[in-house]
Amino acid sequence: MSDHDRDPAEADGYVAERVRAALAADPGVGELGITVRIAGSRAFLAGEVATPERRHAVHAVAARELAGYELHDDVTVAPSPGAPDRVAGTVRVAAVGDVHVGSDSAGRLRPHLEPLADEADLLLLAGDLTRVGDPAEAAVLAGELGGVAVPVVAVLGNHDYHGGQEQAVAAVLEDAGVRVLEGESQVLDTAAGPVGVAGAKGFGGGFAGACGSEFGEPLMKAFVGHTREVAERLEDALAGLDAPVRLALLHYAPTETTLHGERPEIYPFLGSYLLGEAVDRGGADMVVHGHAHAGTEHGSTDGGTPARNVALPVLRRPYAVYCLSPAGEAACTDGAAATR
């Protein structure tokens, strides 16, 4: 069956995923952050690459994979910001989520992580680390992270739970030196000094004015009750951290401000205000999350904590780097938060 013979809704996602996989796998491209959108017979590419040569390679691979489609290529060449220099009293936090590593992903992430030690003091992975929660996929990711010379902390996402082997997935990553948190915290020794991270997967429920409540059917009570329990554990983990810089790491969103671009109808399945309240009460200099692929990178909780959606399709780059101090988000050399 050809792509055009498929159900239209299924075909769009299928073709887009196939093209993204081809872009990541091609040795001349290796791009993880290109957005591919299919609308009937038209295909749209967007994102930034480092060089004109890379842009030409992206176009060539996409044209090959999308033969028969009307291709709209809006990929641009980004100016090189360079690595953020060390500013006294700051820590450089690299973060990304939703990398969706599969059994065929070996070699896709590793080249992009090679400059990490020069650009950041730690790496946060905001869930959906695998495609279907297979420990073999986690082993591929562990191999990609091998040799990364900064501490790595992760939470799992809904994809990592899909196969019912989330504990095995976490164990594979822990064996590779990745600290996987679920309602727990860790103080890391980094080149910039101690940094505290509290993490949890999170869960859904919605936001003020459009959220679920622990009322009615047992299943609804369980749904919202689970989110409340996760939020309480996250708050306790944050409050117990003794470090000058404290970070909250989630998969689900703690604020709707980083969901703009997603359909409002699905906000309750993307996160919960309970997570944001936990971050604000527990105390964090920043919270990062993933899950919302069509959302917005920059936002904040209701209490004013900076929130960053680091889902790979949102970043359109291998990871973002944010500069923080004990007082909150700090200036980098260009006077703003660094974003690689």
Give pLDDT tens digits along the chain (340 positions).
444 454 555 667 788 888 888 887 775 666 667 889 898 899 998 888 767 777 878 888 899 999 999 998 888 876 544 555 556 678 999 999 999 999 999 988 888 998 899 999 999 999 999 999 999 999 999 999 998 999 999 999 999 999 999 999 999 999 999 999 999 999 999 999 999 999 999 999 999 888 998 899 999 999 999 999 999 999 999 999 999 999 999 999 999 999 999 999 999 999 999 999 999 999 999 999 999 999 999 999 999 999 999 999 999 899 999 999 776 666 554 333 444 4
Instruction: Identify the pLDDT of residue 251.
Output: 98
Query: How many residues does this entry show for the chain?
Result: 340
Short-list 309, 219, 314, 207, CA closest to 265: 207
3-state secondary structure 23-78: HHHCCCCCCCCCEEEEECCEEEEEEEECCHHHHHHHHHHHHHHCCCCEEEEEEEEC
pLDDT in tens, 53-85: 778 788 888 999 999 999 988 888 765 445 555
Alpha helices for 122-181 (secondary structure H): 135-145, 158-161, 166-175
Please compute Rg for the chain using Cα positions: 20
d(CA 176, CA 24): 23
Burial of 71 (0-12, 13-18, 19+ CB in 10 A): middle
d(CA 173, CA 140): 10
Residue 232: the pLDDT is 98
Q: How many other C-beta atoms are found inside a 10 Å radius of the C-beta of residue 57?
A: 19
Domains and CATH numbers, the chain: 3-77 (3.30.1340), 91-329 (3.60.21.10)
